[in-house]
Structure 1
Amino acid sequence: MNIVYLIQCHKNFELIISLIHSLALKNNDRVIIHVDKKNEELKLELLDFFKKNTNIYIIPDPISVNWSGLSQVIATLKMLNIANRYKEYDYCCLLSGEDIVLNSHDFKKYLTENNKSFIDFRDDYEKYKWRINKFNFFRDNKLSQRKSLRFVSSLLIRIQKFIPIVRKNIDYESILLGSQWFTLKQEHVEIICKYATSDFINRFKYTSCADEHFFQIIFSQAIPSVEYDRVNLRYIKFEKNESSPRYLTKSDMKYLMSDKNIEYYIARKTTLDLFNEYNKEIKL
């Protein structure tokens, strides 16, 4: 069992190093890292640190990634296309730079036994169709999370609903929603890369949170449902009404370590202190 880990990150050099070391790379396991173009210093630090490690590839020409923008999808596709150059792998696992793979050995064993892809999504187009079928002009603006720009964006969406304006990019019944983080079989990665033509990608331009729809829609249209499970094997905690997950706590990690029947293999998201605390606990 060989895995290509895709790490999408923008900060936390020491945490990224700790994450990679914890993966216990073997045989033809590989790591592909995309560092947000806005942090050139981090990319150079990682290039220098891993310059003698042939299992780790740091993308030399990354793109600027903005929260909830199509750039999230393009960065992921960039890594998936590089992964396709390697023929000797079984799975591709997308991680953030703030994840913990709880036990890489058990994770591989689970994937081998199940022989499926794992990608989280659900049918909820009535609630979320506005993300895709309305124009969200500021999603790939680096200031998109500022209150002023979010207010303007929300106002423009309301105007489009009132007129109404409906984009013809994706049919309502095709709209699906889920977490961007996934673990995919090699043959499914190939299908995604073929399916993701420039025309298909452009349908998601001006889309809110394209990363939570793009890959889910491909899976529903191009891959038989028996070949994947609609879960992503990740422990993620959201506070009420928050759009981003909160940082995990010691109590979260104790919960994950206390019950071996819990089918979580990746914890998102963490800090360096919590990561070190977790490693200390498992070594006791």
Structure 2
Amino acid sequence: MKICYLILAHNNFRHLDRLIESLADADSSFYIHIDKKVTEIYTPSRDNIQAIPDRIDINWGGFNMIEATLALLNYGIAHSPDADYYILISGVDYPIRSKKFLYGLLEERKEYIDIASVPVPYKPAERYEYYYFDYDRRNLKYYNPKFLTEVLLKKFKIKRKAPFKIYAGTQWFALTQGCIRYILDIVNKDKRYIDFFRHTLIPDEAFFQTIIGNSSFYENTVSSLTYTDWEVPVPPATIEERHVEFLKTHIEFNDEYGQRFPYFARKFNDDSEKLLEKIERELW
């Protein structure tokens, strides 16, 4: 099983190295997108790790997250064209099961991505009905012309109609080579997807789902491999010991996207080393 890991990272580089060490084997490759705004230099620790040359300044909720992911997909296909799976993860993920567990899941040859027809819980229709623009929403300046344009368009109820059925889910996925090649081919040939999602709020939770949902690959999808705790005041939660206890008894569970067999958990940080040791002892 040849796996190409595609990693979006912007901090916690010590944890990133631990993540890669936990996943590495003879048939794995790693390509990392480092957010352009990051000034710290990341030096790969293995020959099969590359920080891709394209670096995009990512704003939360903006289309530049799609651009960064597409850069990873294109680089992964070009440099590891024979991979069986391309797995998109965050640099603050970590496996919560053994590699044998992962390989057993991948042998089923499913497309592991959270996907459901809109409306989806926590993903309101207005994300796709109104116009949105790229800017730093977490450091919002109320005189920002892009923000003011959004407000005015909503005030006057100026909406748009999607040219396809919209599907949504969570950002992370594990997709077969055939599915990835299909996505990249569609992106190149059918500009409606980029044109529409360029003005969508948090498009990384719908762009790839919509392409897959409007294809024959949809019938082969199952829930993604990532566990995230959103039930905290400022989500997602940083993984703690209470999550490890939960995962001991929840090797599989159901949510709005169906039956889930999580292999990764998100999120950790550079100070999570003791917790990672506990996970390796008690969950692997």
Using structure 2 for the length normalisation, give the TM-score: 0.84
User: Residue 248 of structure 1 corresponds to which residue in structure 2?
Assistant: 239
Query: Which of 30, 40, 45 matches 2:42?
Result: 45
Q: Structure 1: 5+ residue runs without aligned partners? A: none
Q: How far apart are the structure 1 equivalents of 2:20 and 2:210?
A: 30
Higher helix share: 1
1:177 aligns with 2:172: no
Instruction: Decide whether the 8 Å contact of 2:62 with 2:203 is kept in 1.
Output: yes
CA RMSD of aligned residues (A): 2.6
1:57 aligns with 2:57: no
Q: Which moved more, 1:2-11 or 1:156-165?
A: 156-165
1:111 aligns with 2:106: yes
**1:96-145, Cα deviation, whole Å (9 max, x unpaired):** 11101222331122111x211111022234973321231213xx22x311
SS of 1:145's equivalent in the other structure is helix
Structure 1 residue 274 displacement after superposition? 3.0
1:6 aligns with 2:9: no
Instruction: Decide whether the 8 Å contact of 1:191 with 1:222 is kept in 2.
Output: no
SS of 2:50's equivalent in the other structure is strand
Change (3 A) 1:274 1:54: closer
Q: How far apart are the structure 1 equivalents of 2:201 and 2:2?
A: 34
1:47-126 equivalences under 5 Å are 49-50=44-45, 53-85=46-78, 86-102=80-96, 103-112=98-107, 114-125=108-119
**1:139-166, Cα deviation, whole Å (9 max, x unpaired):** x22x311355499978755643443312
Q: How far apart are the structure 2 equivalents of 1:152 and 1:146?
A: 14
Structure 1 residue 84 displacement after superposition? 1.0
Query: Which of 226, 231, 236 matches 1:239?
Result: 231
1:196 aligns with 2:187: yes
Q: Which moved more, 1:126-135 or 1:70-79?
A: 126-135
**1:21-54, Cα deviation, whole Å (9 max, x unpaired):** 111x22221011000011132xx332xx43xx33
User: Residue 282 of structure 1 corresponds to which residue in structure 2?
Assistant: 280
Aligned letter for 2:89? Answer: L
Aligned residues: 269
Aligned letter for 1:270? Answer: F
Q: How far apart are the structure 1 equivalents of 2:280 and 2:270?
A: 16
Q: Which moved more, 1:4-13 or 1:82-91?
A: 82-91
Q: Structure 2: 5+ residue runs without aligned partners? A: 254-260
User: Residue 210 of structure 1 corresponds to which residue in structure 2?
Assistant: 203
Structure 1 residue 267 displacement after superposition? 0.4
Q: Give percent identity, aligned residues only.
A: 29
Aligned letter for 1:45? Answer: Y
